């Protein structure tokens, strides 16, 4: 018999990451019954699934060649129903312009690819618990 309260505590994470290596990192870090992952496979999936599911957080790979994270962040920022969803992004640490643009678009937290790989679960918890943007997140 399953605990009916289990699903009420489950956090839904929308993963806008098509790179198999990083998606596997997310899946492995968040595979516990505490999390339900929903993968965005196409650009329109990001907004459609965010509207349908009201995820607890969205993860973006700012260097993804298939999904345009910048466009998605612009769309999230423009829709009042979606502006409150915390966002965690990761990018190549050498791409300063990518980091600056993501911050300007209101990403909750952006980290290097290495930090994301090493601390995925902790970072997801952090953005969900501190989803109000502060200067520390910038």
Is 1 part of a structural domain of the chain? no
Which pLDDT belongs to residue 33?
87
Which pLDDT belongs to residue 130?
81
Which pLDDT belongs to residue 1?
40
The CATH number that applies at residue 53 is 3.40.50.2300
Sheet holding 109-112, edge to edge: 35-39, 11-16, 57-61, 87-91, 109-112
Query: 128 is in which domain, residue-wise?
Result: 6-137
* Cβ–Cβ under 8 Å, residues 46 and 14: yes
| pLDDT by 10s per residue, the chain, length 138 | 444 444 558 899 999 999 999 999 999 999 878 999 999 999 999 999 999 999 999 999 999 999 999 999 999 999 999 999 999 999 999 999 999 999 999 999 999 999 999 999 999 999 999 854 433 434
Distance of CA 119 to the CA centre of its chain: 14
Count of the separate structural domains present in the chain: 1
Closest CA to 62 of 12, 101, 20: 101
């Amino acid at each position: 018999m399953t605990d009916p309260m289990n699903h009420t505590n489950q956090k839904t994470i929308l993963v806008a990451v098509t790179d198999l290596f990083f998606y596997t990192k997310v899946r492995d870090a968040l595979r516990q019954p505490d999390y339900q992952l929903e993968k965005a496979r196409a650009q329109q999936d990001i907004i459609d699934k965010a509207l349908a599911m009201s995820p607890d957080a969205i993860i973006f790979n700012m260097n993804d060649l298939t999904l345009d994270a910048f466009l998605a962040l612009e769309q999230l920022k423009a829709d009042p129903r979606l502006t409150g969803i915390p966002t965690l992004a990761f990018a190549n640490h050498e791409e300063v312009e990518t980091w600056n643009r993501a911050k300007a678009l209101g990403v909750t937290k952006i980290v290097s690819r290495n930090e994301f790989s090493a601390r995925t679960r902790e970072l997801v918890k952090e953005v969900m618990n501190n989803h109000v943007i502060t200067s520390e997140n910038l």
